[in-house]
Structure 1
Amino acid sequence: MQEDIKSIFKPHLVPKEVYKGGKNIPPSHKKIYKLSSNENPLGASPKAVAAMKAALDKIDIYPDQTDIRLREALVQDFDGQLSADQFLCGNSGSEVIDILLRAFINEGDEVIFSNPCFLPYSVFSRWYGANQVDIPLLAPNYHLDMEGILNAITEKTKIIFLTSPNNPTGTYIPKSVMDEFMARVPKNIVVVFDEVYRHFADAEDYVTALPYVLAGHNVVGLNSFSKTYGLAGQRIGYGYTTATIANYVRLIHKPFLLPLTSIEAAIGALNDTEFIAETVKTVLEGRTFIAKAFDELGIKYWPSQANFFIIDPPLPEMEFTDKMMEQGIMVRPVSQFGAPGKVRITIGDKEANEALIKALQQVMP
């Protein structure tokens, strides 16, 4: 019986690796600092929380049929540079990735990504039968292999994933590199530019997807409310692109896609400029503090433009992760992301960062 039903399973789905998110804090008698999932070090936007609470007496009715109110709020957040029909919203940035793949990928099409990177690029594309083309980031600095990507493009290539800052490495794509890439990439390919961590990037030559979208390129700027805005539990994200692409992808949007509380929280968060500024300030100060401590401890790390670091731990990754947990610090091994032996550590608030350094001093060989 079981073998009979397996005969209609899609062969490109089984048996395959699935995406595994970071662990939650386990029950414990002691303080645990969760520095494993790149969440906001300050919690959630107060204006977002207030907006959610105000919506609680309406949760017995269906939410907005479309995401138009949130898209109009995003127009204001982007200072009117984009129109409402250029935004796509979903239940997290990950779902926006899924929607884009559903819209453009047929079985046998090709998707290009560059490991180490966010695992859903490969896992989700596999769901739709895509052939996956991995052009690894260049050692030792985890830079984009632009020539490698361009040389890998075929007539079957439909989507290219680029990430800046990149998860889990924290590295970014300089504007000059992105300019050259966009000038050479074929016009019938969608470039998904994941900029979820863009608020934390302070490099002078950092660039988002915005100028390329404004220039009419087939680019999607992927964003999330989970990091800067502190709404990881609400699962809400968005992308922006040309009106042509957005209106096409919206054809497969389900009605009542977003929960009422998520819509209200996201709109409230966009208006909470004080919280956004304080979050960025906390992360940038923490990034400087932790990098200095890494240098003093002799820990190998990669300069980051995000709210986390990737390190070469002083012990095997799982042993290091377990020993840090014993010290009350949760960190994330990232072999699954394509970075074997490495560990990712989220930047926390001042208290968490100081606890992190004390724990490192305890577990160093």
Structure 2
Amino acid sequence: MKKNIESIFKAHLEPKEVYKGGKNIPPSDKKIYKLSSNENPLGASPKAVAAMKAALEHIDIYPDQTDMRLREALVKDFDGKLSAEQFLCGNSGSEIIDIILRAFINEGDEVIYSNPCFLPYSVFSRWYGAKTIDIPLLSPNYDLDVEGILNAITEHTKIIFLTSPNNPTGTYIPKSLLDDFLERVPKNILIVFDEVYRHFADAEDYVTALPYVLAGHNVLGLNSFSKTYGLAGQRIGYAYTTPTIANYIRLIQKPFLLPLTSIEAAIGALNDSEFIEKTVQTVLDGRKYLAQAFDNIGIKYWPSQANFFIIDPPLPEMEFTDRMMEEGIMVRPVSQFGAPGKVRITIGNQEANEACVKALLKIKS
């Protein structure tokens, strides 16, 4: 009996929305400031670049079979509070999300997330046949809907994604709210706590996943080298969790999972405290500058704990994006992230921030 090739396809992989990353700077005769992808405003860690260059001599041989050297460097970065077996590394934070879903999700399982948020939470979950449940952040401040999430939990719920600071809103989950949530959530659910922007959070009641992992909760802290360390092009991510969860996920990790240059770059970046401090200070200064400028110009924005702002633009989002591009400023419309009509603006260096303000003044006038 003849059958079409479609008969071997997975039924749940029907055409749906896909995650589209930010655009690169197009060819142009004029200066363009890329404030659309939350990249490091200072470039890459010099120590990371030097380590990569030194590694080029050896790219003819296979890299480390495991990520142990990078995990040991992360142990030092976390002041020895975690063991090497508690870390997991991969080719970007997005791949870590994919690995987690492969490890835990069967067709028919449920995953909860809260829009506006990073689109791969839902898109990647559906790759594995999960039912995705969106409990939107609460208006008008994009607060976490704790009661909504708890009420949405069923016997099929496997994973809940929480993000703090959140992309694209820049908002965070206060410690008291997270404490209450983790006390009430069933213990057989994995909490994936995306803290990629944690270095930029300075709120007194901001908290990472670390204390909850140390307390033995089923929590996984998701991180990336793309932002603070300036290594977006190397695609390096890592996570930390309890030894039991980490060792289970490691069962499905491939050998030689990271390129040699990525391993060396990440280890070099972790040792570059001067660059990290300078990056964080540049973002904090820029955040203050832009917030004041938004107030002066009359741009509605949400207070941010990350290296970007979400704003309510003075024009429809796509028209505003195009107008900003005409002025040499790339920004990111975020309807795809669950925030229709809003635009995300990355905090750049002072030159880029001033150019952004100049463009806003021209458009708003």
User: Per the shorter chain, which TM-score range?
Assistant: over 0.9
Deviation at 1:8, TM superposition (A): 1.8
Which residue is equivalent to 1:143? 143
Deviations 1:12-51 (A, max 9, x none): 1121111100000000000000000000000000000000
Per the alignment, residue 33 of structure 1 pairs with 33
SS at match of 1:221: strand
**Counterparts of 1:151 and 1:274 in 2: how far apart (Å)?**
45
Question: What corresponds to 1:217 in structure 2?
Answer: 217
What amino acid sits opposite 1:194 in the alignment? D
Rounded Cα–Cα distance in structure 1 between residues aligned with 2:355 and 2:363: 13
| Identical-residue share of aligned pairs (%) | 84
User: Aligned equivalents of 1:327 and 1:130: distance in 2?
Assistant: 43
Following the alignment from structure 2 to structure 1, what is the Cα–Cα distance between the partners of residues 155 and 45? 45
Q: Which moved more, 1:3-12 or 1:61-70?
A: 3-12
Q: Secondary structure at the match of 2:205?
A: coil
Structure 2: distance between partners of 1:99 and 1:7 = 27
- Distance in 2 separating the partners of 1:240 and 1:201: 19
Distance in 2 of aligned mates of 1:30 and 1:3 = 55
Equivalent-residue separation in structure 2 for 1:141 and 1:244 (angstroms): 36
Give the match for residue 167 of structure 1. 167
Distance 2:274 2:363 in 1: 37
SS at match of 2:75: helix
- The equivalences for 1:1-365 within 5 A come to 4-364=4-364
CA distance in 2, matches of 1:129, 1:293: 45
Structure 2 counterpart SS, 1:7: helix
Give the letter for the 1:81 counterpart. Answer: K
Paired with 1:257 and 1:16, the residues of 2 have a C-alpha distance of: 29
Unaligned runs of 5+ in 2: none
1:217-241: CA deviation from partner (whole Å, max 9, x where unpaired): 0000000000000000000000000
For the residue of structure 1 that corresponds to 2:311, the secondary structure is strand
Deviates more, 1:333-342 or 1:12-21: 12-21
Task: For residue 111 of structure 1, report the CA deviation from its aligned partner.
Answer: 0.2
Secondary structure, in 3 states, of the residue corresponding to 1:178?
Answer: helix
Counterpart secondary structure, 2:220: strand
Deviations 1:51-100 (A, max 9, x none): 00000000011000000000000000000000000000000001000000
3-state SS of the aligned residue for 1:239?
strand
Structure 1 Cα separation of the partners of residues 190 and 221 of structure 2: 11
TM-score, scaled relative to structure 1? 0.99
Deviation at 1:7, TM superposition (A): 2.0
1: distance between equivalents of 2:101 and 2:136? 21
- Counterpart Cα distance in 2 of 1:22 and 1:159: 27
- Hey, what's the Cα distance between the residues in 2 that align with 1:248 and 1:280? 34
Output the CA distance in 1 between the equivalents of 2:190 and 2:77: 24
SS in 2 for 1:361: helix
Q: Deviations over 1:216-274 (max 9, x none)?
A: 00000000000000000000000000000000000000000000000000000000000
Q: Which amino acid aligns with 2:115?
A: N
Structure 1 segments (4+ residues) deviating >6 Å: none
CA RMSD in angstroms comes to 0.9
**3-state SS of paired residue (1:129):** coil
- Residue by residue over 1:311-340, the C-alpha shift from the partner in whole angstroms, topping out at 9 and shown as x without a partner, is 000000000000000000000000000000
Query: 2: CA distance between counterparts of 1:136 and 1:252?
Result: 32
- Partner SS for 1:116: coil
Give the match's secondary structure for 2:221.
strand
Distance (Å, rounded) in 1 between the aligned partners of 2:263 and 2:240: 17
1:222 alignment partner, SS class: strand
Q: Deviations over 1:261-305 (max 9, x none)?
A: 000000000000000000000000000000000000100000000
Please give the per-residue CA displacement for 1:118-159, whole angstroms capped at 9, x wherever unaligned: 000001001000000100000000000001001110100000
Name structure 1 gaps, 5 residues minimum: none
SS in 1 for 2:89: strand
Following TM superposition, by how much is the alpha carbon of 1:3 offset from its aligned partner in structure 2, in angstroms? 7.9
1:177-205 deviations in Å (ceiling 9; x for gaps)? 00001111111100000000000000000
SS of 1:220 mapped into structure 2: strand
Return the TM-score normalized by structure 2. 0.99
Q: Which amino acid aligns with 1:122?
A: S
Q: Distance in 1 between matches of 2:66 and 2:107?
A: 29
Q: How far, CA to CA, are the matches of 2:11 and 2:50 in structure 1? A: 47
